[in-house]
Amino acid sequence: MWKANRTREDLTPKTKIMSLGTSDSSSSVSSFQCCKRMKYLAEQLAKAEQTLRNTLRSRTMMLTSRTKTEQMATVAGAKDIDTRYIEGATASKGSDTTEWGGRVALWGVVPLWRAAPPPDTVLALRRPTLSDCWPFIGSYGEIIIRLPQTQRVRYITVEHIHPDTARSAPKHFLIYGVLTNNTWIKIANAQYRAEGPPKQYYPLAYSHIEWKSVVFRVLTNQGNEKYTCIYRVHLYGKVENSLVPFNKL
Q: Whole-angstrom Cα distance, residue 213 to residue 153?
A: 10
The average confidence (pLDDT) of the chain is 78
The answer to whether residues 133 and 196 belong to one domain is: yes
Tell whether 78 is covered by a domain.
no
Owning domain of residue 57:
1-73
How much is the pTM?
0.62
Q: By the 8 A CB rule, do 62 and 219 touch?
A: no
Q: Among 38, 73, 108, identify where a domain stops.
A: 73
Q: 6 and 125 share a domain?
A: no
Same domain, 11 and 90: no
Q: Which CATH number covers residue 191?
A: 2.60.120.260
- How large is the average pLDDT for residues 210-221? 97
How many domains are contained in the chain?
2
Residue 235 pLDDT > 50:
yes
- Average of per-residue pLDDT across 143-168: 89
Higher pLDDT, 23 or 28: 28
**Do 41 and 163 belong together in one domain?**
no
Where among 73, 97, 125 does a domain terminate?
Answer: 73
Question: Which residues, in sequence order, are CB contacts of 206 under 8 Å at separation 6+?
Answer: 177, 185, 187
Highest mean pLDDT among 49-63, 98-112, 134-148: 134-148
pLDDT of residue 202: 97
Identify the residue with better confidence: 39 or 126. Answer: 126
- Which of the listed residues 14, 42, 73 is the one where a domain comes to its end? 73
Clarify whether residues 97 and 216 are in a common domain.
yes
Helix, strand, coil percentages (3-state) for the chain, rounded to 5, are 30, 35, 35
> Is residue 79 domain-resident?
no
| One domain for residues 59 and 129 | no
Main-chain dihedrals φ then ψ at residue 217, nearest 5 degrees:
-110, 120
Considering the domain architecture, whether residues 68 and 128 belong to the same structural domain is answered as no
The pLDDT score that the predictor gives to residue 38 is 80
pLDDT at 79 over 80: no
Q: Find residue 104's DSSP bridge partners.
A: 112
Q: Where are the alpha helices (DSSP H) in the chain?
A: 8-11, 14-73, 165-168
Do 227 and 105 have their domain in common? yes
Q: Say yes or no to pLDDT of 71 above 50.
A: no
Cα separation, 224 vs 227, whole angstroms: 6
Amino acid at site 108? G
Q: Are residues 132 and 180 in the same domain?
A: yes
Residues 39 and 147 in one domain: no
Tens of pLDDT along 85-126?
Answer: 999 999 999 988 888 765 445 555 455 445 678 999 999 999
How confident is the model at residue 172, as a pLDDT? 98
